[in-house]
Amino acid sequence: MGDIPPLSFFGTDNGRLNSMRSAFPRLRITARGDALAVAGEVEEVDRFQENFERILNVLSRRGELNQREFTQLLLSTGPIPTLHPGSESGLLHGPNGLVVRARTPNQLRMVQLSSRNDILFAVGPAGSGKTYTAVALAVRALKDKEVRKIILTRPAVEAGESLGFLPGDLREKIDPYLRPLYDALGDMIPAHRLEKYLEEQIIEVAPLAFMRGRTLDKAFVILDEAQNCTEMQIKMFLTRMGPSAKFIITGDLTQIDLPSRQRSGLPQALQLLEGVKGIAQVFLSADDVVRHPLVRTIVEAYGQHDEARQRKSIQRGPGVDRNNS
């Protein structure tokens, strides 16, 4: 059953194992650790295997099934039945039984919009789960064989620190900027498998500059910290898209670390591409922050400060050049 813990499949006291035996009384079904042995007529075994694989597929994406949904899949024939509308909140099962799920309405909206669009912009403050949800969607797509690889990228922009004083070559200097992406992957993929994926470049984590000149196809591609991309960089990234790719662009417009002479390309991209078919936008807020409760308070405090400063600037009006007056 792969990464799915036996408890998630069999249920407490093997309740779901008993459900399977009741649903397929002509089969002899035995659980051995995390494996299942089934014996009986070939036609009946094939029908059981088909429904068994449906259950595994949904569990691997959602991380959990209630008893009603389990029974519904177990007894179904033909197309996979439509489950409860909220079922998309569970995205996949991580190591040690961790269920990765959309935890707020806007995170769930990310899941829904991503399934219906090839490009999704997810904009919101620190801690709102935009990057984590995007990575979960990418891992789910890889597990479901919807894509062949995952590409995670960020612009290597200094947030008040200097890359020049860090030890190592360029990759080693940039690695700390990509660490949040590695951390998210570590929550969703067992360490040994993640290491293999990285070695074989099934999962690629690289700075944005490494995307230039490439065509990104049959891949789920995430551009993180997009507020630190220039207008030309965002255009370059978006035009890398191959015919069978899925893109998510995440960013926080309140944390732009570009030098003052450079403009962020994220606001321009949001404006130019608003309403384009196949491209969606979702805006997260302090209500979506799922870190320490104080993070939400901090985000709100800075937001109020920025609004007050903006109002003050508007009231003051345009400045007067006294040298020409």
The CATH number that applies at residue 267 is 3.40.50.300
**What is residue 144's predicted lDDT score, i.e. its pLDDT?**
83
- CB-CB contact of 243 with 269 (8 Å): no
**Taking the CB of residue 7, how many other CB atoms lie within 10 A of it?**
12
pTM above 0.85, yes or no: no
User: Is the domain of 35 the same as that of 101?
Assistant: no
- CB-CB contact of 154 with 178 (8 Å): yes
**What is residue 61's predicted lDDT score, i.e. its pLDDT?**
62
Instruction: Write out the DSSP string of 264-280.
Output: BSHHHHHHHTTT-TTEE
Q: Is residue 325 in a domain? A: no
Q: Which two tokens stand for residue 225?
A: 């910290």
> Which domain-ending residue is among 83, 113, 128?
83
Q: How far apart are CA 149 and CA 142, in angstroms?
A: 7
Q: Is residue 107 in a domain? A: yes
Q: Which amino acid is at 304?
A: Q
**What is residue 21's predicted lDDT score, i.e. its pLDDT?**
86
pLDDT tens, residue by residue, 32-53: 776 788 999 998 888 888 888 8
pLDDT tens, residue by residue, 201-215: 999 988 888 898 899
User: Is the domain of 73 the same as that of 29?
Assistant: yes
Which residues does 250 contact at the CB level (< 8 Å), separation at least 6? 121, 122, 123, 130, 131, 134, 222, 223, 224, 225, 226
User: Is the domain of 114 the same as that of 78?
Assistant: no
Count structural domains, the chain: 2
> Which domain-ending residue is among 51, 83, 115?
83
Q: What residues in the chain have per-residue pLDDT under 70?
A: 1-14, 34, 59-69, 77-90, 93-94, 96-98, 157-177, 290-293, 313-325
pLDDT tens, residue by residue, 68-116: 667 777 777 655 554 444 445 567 766 766 677 788 888 889 998 998 8
> Which domain-ending residue is among 67, 83, 99?
83
**What is residue 123's predicted lDDT score, i.e. its pLDDT?**
96
User: Is the domain of 47 the same as that of 139?
Assistant: no
**What is residue 247's predicted lDDT score, i.e. its pLDDT?**
97
Q: How far apart are CA 245 and CA 129, in angstroms?
A: 22
Q: Is residue 60 in a domain? A: yes
Q: Which residues pair with 249 in a beta bridge?
A: 121, 223
Q: Is residue 185 in a domain? A: yes
User: Is the domain of 106 the same as that of 78?
Assistant: no
User: Is the domain of 171 the same as that of 273?
Assistant: yes
**What is residue 124's predicted lDDT score, i.e. its pLDDT?**
93
User: Is the domain of 53 the same as that of 141?
Assistant: no
Q: How far apart are CA 284 and CA 113, in angstroms?
A: 13
> Residue 179 belongs to what domain range?
91-310
Q: Which is it for the CA torsion 291, 293, 295, 299, positive or negative?
A: positive
**What is residue 18's predicted lDDT score, i.e. its pLDDT?**
82
**Taking the CB of residue 116, how many other CB atoms lie within 10 A of it?**
9
